[in-house]
């Protein structure tokens, strides 16, 4: 099989990106594969191309509805009609059609939460699956920055599906996380592809301030000076909304995005950003997976990320076109307090663990009544089915220590006087081979390379109230 010819005929690409060919060959050879490819390196090709050759369906487990919908839309845009996403947004009449013809779909997308539902599991058992894809596979690992307890249940369905071949894809994973992905997916001798984590066109900057007011003033000046598209990451939903309002006051087209919004509202904001109708997105870490915008020039962290892994994942959304991109981390005195609270946010407290233990893992009324937080409920529910109460508490203590270690790496990043890039790469058990000339603030940054991305002069002037209204409420 001439893979280059197939790649060109199917997708119009004349050559593979680094790593893609090796991964595709191993998948077609029947091997289980764990693939670590940096954000923007085209992970989806690694299962989409083999699907052209494999005889049966490809089941893709995707962590977010917005990511799933985007992947489905991308496939349909490329002319692939045999694709479906199984989620709560399917209309009843569409669900019936899907279940009746499930085996005829080449690509089947499903969330991990939907995957383990008995009816879905039963329907999947009735069809043939050539390949199971765990997308964003770092979510499997309890040591990963974006741990999703329902991802651990993927292994529970593998026997029911007659142990299909597995491809685990992620952009960020340490050796520890990679080993846990292998363990929880029951992969005995997987082929592991590790691409160098470094993205040479991304320049790392850190700005430090005495107080939050100075930080805000810097941000306003930065937005006036540089054009988007760009992403500003905030630690909380409230702060993302405040920053979006601040940008609107400066006459800049922006919107906020966070997990507390309705799904359709999030999809609308993402589409506006992808269509170039918004220059900036102010978001929590909920934004980014599945966002295919090649010319994002700036990623700004207004508040500290909770891990190096999350930081690199978010920074990696910039500069996918290969042009210079700037990652700016803003720090003001006192930011550590928010970091410490965010680090522990998703882990259940002992009170929450005991509440789930007493009431049972089906007691979702604990969430409705505000007794247990939703993510904490899912984490506690999983481990209560695996361990006695004392064991669950010990497991949570291990996870807390792991999260503190992740946060400590961010604090160390802030205090570094040596190369930021080298330190970041070392956190992923790799060494920096070649340092680009425009590297990081500690090696000196040439900001002039971003001059061509300056906004037109007329856009640097504040808009009047009518224009501002049109920014906030585009027609």
- What's the helix, strand, coil split of the chain in %, to 5? 45, 15, 40
Q: Residue 363 gets which letter from DSSP?
A: -
Segment 181-197 shows an average pLDDT of: 91
Number of Cβ within 10 Å of residue 126's Cβ equals 9
DSSP for 144-157, please give it.
STT--GGGGGHHHH
Give me the pLDDT at residue 468, please: 47
Give me the pLDDT at residue 460, please: 38
Residues 404 and 385: their CA atoms lie apart, in Å, by 26
Residue 465 has pLDDT above 70, yes or no: no
Domains 3-194 and 202-339+409-472 share a fold: yes
Q: How confident is the model at residue 407 (pLDDT cuts 50, 70, 90)?
A: confident
Q: How confident is the model at residue 452 (pLDDT cuts 50, 70, 90)?
A: low
Give me the pLDDT at residue 471, please: 47
Q: Does 202-339+409-472 carry CATH code 3.40.50.300?
A: yes
Q: Which range in 318-322, 423-427, 430-434 is most confidently predicted, on average pLDDT?
A: 423-427
Residue 234 has pLDDT above 80, yes or no: yes
The SS3 call for residue 187 is coil
The predicted-structure confidence for 374-402, as pLDDT tens digits, reads as follows 888 988 988 898 899 999 999 999 888 88
The predicted-structure confidence for 44-68, as pLDDT tens digits, reads as follows 899 999 999 999 999 999 887 777 8
The predicted-structure confidence for 85-117, as pLDDT tens digits, reads as follows 988 777 888 888 899 999 999 999 998 888 888
Candidates 1.20.58.2030, 3.40.50.300, 3.40.1350.10, 1.10.3720.10; CATH matching 3-194: 3.40.50.300
Residue with tokens 């005889």: 55
Q: Are 289 and 138 in contact (CB under 8 A)?
A: no
Q: How confident is the model at residue 474 (pLDDT cuts 50, 70, 90)?
A: very low
Give me the pLDDT at residue 280, please: 95
Between these two residues, 285 and 50, which has the higher pLDDT value?
50
Q: Is 256 exposed, middle or buried (0-12, 13-18, 19+ CB in 10 A)?
A: buried
Q: How confident is the model at residue 458 (pLDDT cuts 50, 70, 90)?
A: very low
Domain locations in the chain as residue ranges: 3-194, 202-339+409-472
Q: Are 112 and 148 in contact (CB under 8 A)?
A: yes
Number of Cβ within 10 Å of residue 71's Cβ equals 22
Q: How confident is the model at residue 80 (pLDDT cuts 50, 70, 90)?
A: confident
Percent of all residues in the chain with a pLDDT value above 70, rounded to a whole number:
93
Question: What's the mean per-residue pLDDT of the chain?
Answer: 87
The predicted-structure confidence for 341-380, as pLDDT tens digits, reads as follows 777 777 889 999 999 999 998 899 999 999 998 888 988 9
pTM here is 0.83
């Amino acid at each position: 099989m001439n893979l280059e010819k197939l790649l060109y005929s199917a997708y119009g690409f004349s050559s593979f990106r680094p790593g893609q060919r090796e991964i595709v060959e191993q998948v077609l050879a029947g091997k289980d594969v764990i693939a670590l490819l940096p954000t923007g390196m085209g992970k989806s090709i690694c299962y989409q191309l083999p699907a052209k050759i494999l005889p049966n369906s490809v089941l893709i487990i995707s962590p977010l509805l917005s990511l799933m919908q985007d992947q489905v839309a991308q496939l349909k845009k490329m002319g692939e009609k045999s694709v479906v996403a199984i989620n709560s947004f399917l209309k009843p009449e569409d669900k019936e059609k899907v279940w009746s013809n499930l085996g005829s779909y080449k690509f089947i997308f499903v969330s991990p939460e939907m995957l383990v539902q008995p009816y879905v599991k039963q329907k999947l058992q009735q069809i043939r699956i050539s390949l199971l894809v765990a997308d964003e596979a770092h979510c499997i690992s309890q040591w990963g920055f974006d741990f999703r307890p329902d991802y651990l249940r993927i292994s529970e369905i593998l026997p029911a599906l007659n142990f299909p071949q597995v491809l685990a894809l992620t952009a960020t994973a340490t050796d520890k996380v990679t080993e846990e992905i292998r363990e929880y997916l029951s992969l005995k001798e997987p082929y592991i592809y590790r691409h160098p984590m470094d993205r040479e066109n991304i320049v790392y900057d850190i700005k430090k301030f005495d107080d939050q007011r100075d930080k805000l003033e810097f941000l306003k000046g930065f937005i006036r000076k540089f054009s988007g598209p760009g992403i500003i990451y905030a630690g909380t939903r409230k702060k993302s909304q405040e920053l979006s309002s601040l940008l609107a006051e400066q006459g800049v087209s922006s919107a906020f995005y966070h997990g507390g919004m309705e799904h359709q509202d999030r999809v609308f904001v993402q589409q506006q950003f992808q269509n170039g109708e918004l220059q900036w997105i102010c978001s929590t870490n909920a934004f980014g997976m599945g966002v295919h915008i090649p010319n994002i020039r700036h990623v700004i962290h207004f508040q500290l990320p909770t891990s190096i892994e999350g930081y690199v994942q978010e920074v990696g959304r910039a500069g996918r076109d290969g042009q210079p991109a700037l990652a700016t981390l803003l720090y003001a005195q006192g930011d550590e307090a928010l970091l410490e609270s965010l680090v522990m946010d998703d882990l259940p407290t002992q009170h929450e663990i005991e509440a789930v233990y007493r009431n049972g893992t089906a007691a979702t009324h604990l969430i409705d009544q505000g007794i247990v937080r939703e993510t904490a409920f899912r984490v506690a529910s999983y481990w209560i089915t695996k361990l006695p109460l004392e064991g669950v508490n010990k497991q949570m203590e291990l996870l807390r220590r792991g999260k503190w270690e992740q946060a400590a790496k961010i604090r160390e990043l802030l205090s570094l006087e040596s190369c930021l890039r080298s330190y970041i790469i070392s956190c992923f058990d790799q060494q920096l081979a070649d340092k680009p000339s425009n590297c990081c603030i500690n090696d000196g940054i040439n900001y002039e390379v971003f001059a061509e991305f300056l906004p037109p002069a007329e856009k640097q002037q504040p808009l009047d109230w009518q224009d501002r209204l049109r920014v906030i409420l585009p027609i």
